């Protein structure tokens, strides 16, 4: 519990006399850091597939998409579903399955993280733009 309370303070730096903008950035940083802590148990897996500078962003996307619940299912108005830790859509998964020779389903956290990494490093972060409002300020977190 103490780690949860102290970590945002240590990772979100503020000058001795903060401006309004610095205070706003600090509060955003604390919120994002707390979100990362919710999914912190996925960090070893994310470390395995992502570059160090992308780990916070990846963890925030996991938080924003599934709150870290690897069996999450989201139903879309067009009848498709988003499934798993990274909330891969039916159509995206169907496109990637033969391309990457995927044998496991979207609920497999290791597979979905490996596939997310491949997709991000080969096509960009835009596949998670629907949740960008939740993770867009990740650069305000100090490492």
CATH of the domain at 47: 1.10.530.10
The edge-to-edge listing of strands for the beta sheet with 73-75 is: 73-75, 81-83, 88-89
Residue 69 to residue 84: CA distance in whole angstroms: 7
Number of domains making up the chain: 1
For residue 20, pLDDT over 80 is answered with no
82: containing domain: 2-140
pLDDT digits 0-9 by tens, 29-56? 777 788 889 999 999 999 999 999 999 9
pLDDT digits 0-9 by tens, 63-100? 999 999 999 999 999 999 999 999 999 999 999 999 99
Q: Which two tokens stand for residue 66?
A: 């599934």
Q: Which two tokens stand for residue 12?
A: 């979100």
Give the predicted TM-score (pTM) of the model: 0.80
């Amino acid at each position: 519990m103490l780690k949860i309370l102290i970590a945002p303070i240590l990772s979100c730096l503020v000058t001795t006399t903060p401006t309004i903008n610095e205070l706003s950035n600090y509060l955003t940083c604390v919120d994002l850091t707390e979100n990362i802590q919710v999914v912190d148990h996925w960090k070893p897996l994310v470390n395995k597939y992502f570059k160090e500078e992308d780990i916070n962003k990846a963890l925030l996307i996991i938080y924003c998409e599934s709150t870290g619940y690897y069996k999450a299912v989201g139903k879309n108005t067009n009848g498709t579903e988003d499934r798993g830790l990274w909330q891969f859509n039916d159509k995206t998964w169907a496109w990637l399955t033969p391309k990457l020779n995927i044998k496991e389903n979207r609920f497999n956290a290791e597979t979905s993280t490996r596939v997310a990494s491949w997709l991000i490093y080969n096509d960009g972060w835009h596949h998670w733009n629907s949740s960008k409002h939740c993770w867009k300020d990740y650069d305000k977190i100090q490492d």
